[in-house]
Amino acid sequence: MVRRHLLRVATAVAAAVLATTGLQAVTGATASAAARTVYYDASRAGEFRTNFDAAARIWNSSVTNVQLVARTPGNVTIYVDNGWPRAQVTGLGSGRVWMGWEAVNQGYDRTRIATHELGHILGLPDRRTGLCTDLMSGSSAPVSCRNANPSAAEAAQVNRLFAGSTAASSQVARTYTWTGAEPDDAVTPMVVGGRPATENYPFMVYVSGCTGSLIKANWAVTAKHCGTPASVRVGSVNRTSGGTVVSVVRAVNHPTIDVKLLQLGSSVSYAPAPIPTTSGAVGTATRIIGWGQTCAPRGCGSAPAVANELDTSIVADTRCLGINAPYEICTNNTNGNSGACYGDSGGPQVRRINGAWSLIGVTSRAGNNNSTCATAPSIYGDLPSIRSWVNTQVGGLPAA
């Protein structure tokens, strides 16, 4: 009798301790191990509440060491806004989630988004494999992807994270965005220190949170780590108006560098940017253009409606960390404080040849792995170095 009483007291004390951290033991005859409960508050999720309830059910049927339960207040609070979906993780099983209308308006599946963002709360990082079967591939999978279930590997990773006594301390706080950087935290650049576009570049393409360039009447190029949207706006330096909105029917990723081709659903009448045979030597004057944020710290401001431009130049490869020198360009951060930043990803680096702009680069990442933009030169995909591959994929490029 005394031993049974002590056992009940010990169990109650353990449950109380776990509850204070928001992780509650789940008891019952069917539980083979002590599962933990993460409470989510979807009272502010509006019409998306049903999607988060569905996402919780998916996770609960996929993992055994943690269960998601609706409660107000919760360890996780869910909001809705007009930005991109994102998760602000403050610890394993805690944080905030936003269901952003940007992705919903692009046609991404609502329940897939909800399950993906809760995956971050449960400890999973982005894995932008481009595969629909991977839940954490997020926006790198086609917009047509409707899979909202974690893969076996993803479920197993969550179970490992919530196994044993390390559950409450094994997650580092950070923020994930639906169109955010690669898992290695490469910086997705935008133009800092530039100026609003001085020309109406006809080859500019707005790619839903990224930038791109028209290279043929029905083909555009952007960065591989950017999402594949249902449509793009072509031919305007204003991402909210002008030009032509055209559907995207297919994406083709380069096998080596951060370059992706987008096949458009129909041809447009705007002049594409020609890709020359060489990008240029060190010291070549270039210009970068994009809809990235115009202040340097990550998340310091929103993307401008009108694209910004910056005059810069090619610098020695040795100034960029982790560069694939034969296929990438190291591009100067002008005056040591100006360059590409978040949102410029996939955008053009151009240089004048015979008085006209030619496309040599695709904005990829920072050259120093620093989350603050323009603190070092940036890395661009070298399009002339892969021109023959691009030519094959698009069925023939216009003459350079």
Residues noted as catalytic:
117
Instruction: Classify each residue of 256-294 as buried b or exposed e, where b means 16 or more C-beta atoms within 10 Å of its C-beta.
Output: ebbbbbbbbeeebebebbbbbeebbeeebebbbbbbbbb
With CA atoms as reference, report the closest residue to 108 among 263, 227, 250, 240. 227
Contact 110, 52 (CB under 8 A): no
Q: Is 356 helix (H, G, I), strand (E, B) or coil?
A: strand
Query: Given CA atoms 8, 10, 13, 14 in this order, what sign does their dihedral have?
Result: negative
Task: Write down the H helix ranges in 99-165.
Answer: 101-106, 110-121, 152-161
Helix (H) or strand (E) holding 16: helix 2-20
With CA atoms as reference, report the closest residue to 50 among 10, 80, 83. 80
Helices (H) and strands (E) in the chain, counts: 6, 20
With CA atoms as reference, report the closest residue to 91 among 150, 45, 23. 23
**CA-CA distance, 342 to 18, in Å (whole number)?**
39
DSSP 109: -
Contact 162, 92 (CB under 8 A): yes
Q: Which tokens is 225 given?
A: 């780590």
